[in-house]
Structure formats: structure tokens, C-alpha cells
Amino acid sequence: MNLCKLCKIRNADKENSHIIPKFLGKPLFKSPSHRAAMEINKGGRNKKIQDIPKEDFILCSNCEQKFSILETYFARKLKSINDFKNRKNDFRFTQVHSNNLLIPENLDPIFFKLFTVSLFWRVSISTLFLYEKYKLPELIEEEFRVFLSKNLKEKHRDLIEVLPKIKNTPNYHFVVFKPEFNNRDFIGGLTAYQTSKNIYTIFTSDLVFQFYSELIQTDPIIDLISNLQDEEVRIILSSNENWKALGSAVIKKVINSTH
């Protein structure tokens, strides 16, 4: 049996590990007409699926528990983020050029970065077809692994206690988008791919995450809208029209990449 890809100490005994947390793909299976989504396979063929992809024997049970604690906590925060229009006292709003930013007051930026790093790392280590167009540089993948292994905890209480002590977070741009309205006619998708030489994207039903593997040669505006800083969480609000256009572009790119 292989060693766990996170701790590299215990055997990878866990089956059915979700690479992207289930709650980030759950809306895809809430159609009134059916409880399924479409998966695009090699050659562009489609098939119905009833759960987001899972993978066996990449983590040990202990490390899987650490991710579970992290994801359970973020899932609760996401409910608040999606309901921001009814919880205006919990958020600040600002504008950077043409970008409307949502800034949660009660979401720890270090925790947010820990969760975001966990997404990009888990997709990178996966061998599933869905993520084969995505692979972080080896040095960055290892940097993320060490950061996660050092700071993830098996109990919620321990995770909360360690957050103020975390230093030297990964020094990269992390840009996050969400649709402005939840009653949208386009739910989204679930995929990950390398957008360009230095940009990696994870597209989910509620949020789009982008990671810039280099700080040089980025748009100066990125400094103002990204989560490179550890002072606050910044989420770009996308209009429904832009969200649908983004989703359509993602789907088109995925289909083209299968040929």
C-alpha cells in the first residue's frame, strides 16, 4: 500500500476521498428533474453521474479527518457568504476598478488561505481523468503539502487554536469569484485546469478559485483583489451574466481539451 500523500508516514488506507469537497459540487445534483450531473469523458463523450468524483488510497484516515474538519468549518462559512445580501452586517463591500469585492468580517483570512491551498493541492495530487489537465509545479505542490501537514488538525478546537499561530503562509496570489445572485439559471460546473502558464483554476458550483504560481508579470490590479495578503478575505462578486459566460467558457475549454 502507498504512503499517505499528505503526512507521508502512514499508509494511504482511506477509500472514496473527495478531491474537491462534496459541498462545493452539491448544487449540481439538485435539479428538479433529476439528481445527476453530466461528466465529460475522453473524446468529449458525456455520461450522467450522481456524485462528485472520488479517489481511493491517496490519504490515510487521520489526514482525511483533518480535511473533513477543515471542510466542515468552511461549508458553514459558505452558507453565510451565499446569504450575504441578508447578512450585510457581516460583510464589507468595496470596489477596485470594475471589480466589486465582498469582504467577510467573520472569516479568518489564514483559515481561508488554508482551505484554498488544500483545494489546489488535492487536485494536483489526484490521478483522476477529470483533473489530468491540472498539475502544480513539484516544488509548489510540496510547499503546499508541508504547509497543510503542519497546520491541519483532527479536531475543530485545535484548528481554531492554531490559526493565530500560523506564520509564513504561501506567498502567492489566490483570486476567488462568486456569483452575485444565488437564484441564477446557470448553476456552474466542477472542474480544474491550467488556464495559462502560471494560472490554475478550480471551477465549482458556488466559487471559482484561481492560483497564480508566479508573482511577476501579473496585472497590478491583482494585488488589490487577491488573497496574497493575510489581512482580510477578498471575494469578487460576478454578475449572473458574467458567471454564465465564465461557466460556458470553462465548459468549452474542457470539451476542446478532451479531443
Position 36 scores a pLDDT of 43
pLDDT at 9 exceeding the cut of 90: yes
CA 225, distance to chain mean position in Å, is: 17
Q: For 207-250, where are the E strands, in sequence order?
A: 208-212, 235-238
Which of 116, 147, 121 shows the shortest CA–CA distance to 58?
121
166-194 pLDDT, tens digit per residue, is 988 999 999 999 988 765 555 566 788 88
SS (H, E, C) 166-211: CCCCCCCEEEEEEECCCCCCCCCCCEEEEEECCEEEEECCCCEEEE
Position 197 scores a pLDDT of 85
Bridge partners for 201 per DSSP:
193, 210
Which cell numbers in the block locate residue 101? 469585492
Which of 98, 228, 88 shows the shortest CA–CA distance to 170?
228
Position 31 scores a pLDDT of 53
206-251 pLDDT, tens digit per residue, is 899 999 998 876 678 898 999 999 999 999 998 878 877 776 776 6
pLDDT at 107 exceeding the cut of 50: yes
Position 6 scores a pLDDT of 98
Break the chain into its structural domains and give their ranges: 17-257
Cα separations in angstroms, 70 against 111, 166, 234: 8, 15, 19
pLDDT at 89 exceeding the cut of 60: yes
Label residue 42 by pLDDT band (50, 70, 90). Answer: very low
Average pLDDT in the chain: 85
Position 126 scores a pLDDT of 93
Q: Minimum mean pLDDT among 28-42, 191-205, 236-250: which range?
A: 28-42
pLDDT at 90 exceeding the cut of 70: yes
